[in-house]
Amino acid sequence: MIDGDVIVVTGASRGLGRAMAERFAREGARVVPMSRSADQLEALAADAPTEMHPVAADIREADDVRRVVDEAVDHFGRIDTVVNNAAVGLLSLTGELKSVEDVTPEEWDTVIETNLRGPFLLTKYALPHMRQRGRGNLINVTSGYGKHGQAEWAPYVSSKHGLEGLTDTVARECADTGINVNAIDPGGSVETGFWNTADKRSHLPPAERDRVASPDVMNDAMVLLAGQGPEGVSGESLTTSEWEERLG
């Protein structure tokens, strides 16, 4: 389904992004994993069963993101799928949550620039190559917090609401172009930098602390989304299980 495809994955050095990159490679895709952690990317590529072209870059910087796209196209000749996965929140950055009046401008900017500016930049620079070919998949990793608010999560909630809006808008702009634009929500808490310690999990309701999913939770749905052709589903935002039911 995605054998031979070229897939760019952000935040690929660990967590959800690394799990997705590894699964795409096992399915025969050629992956361009991106993050700021060059050593971890190189280790990922060294163990891959297919060719990877890792690129160390900062998702918040326009020149870096443009370079990732240029390197992907120069190295592999095209981009079939972009996965906007990289994301941070106060819990992953500082290990604590804050009410909005206690969030610093610097913390706000870090979250918004990573979670929303980054997907905008990668979409902006990858989209012309997809338009030229008349096909492609743009997949944005969102969250339940993209559809409702949550106390002490202001930067993250705002970024994910924005990502939902970006997904819908770009899908409308890409109607009838052969490019599918969708969002996927893991459907619950995942063992990433948000919930990887007991202290962080203490912020979850007690009943949910032992139900944190492994980082490979989205892999099956991601393969289905990346495997869509020009007439695929577009403009939808669904959970992992809903995508599996829809496309499986």
Q: Which residues are annotated as catalytic?
A: 156
- Cα angle 196, 114, 172 (rounded to 5 degrees) comes to 115
| CA-based radius of gyration for the chain | 17
Amino acid found at 59: I
- CA separation, residue 243 to residues 15, 107, 221 (Å): 20, 33, 6
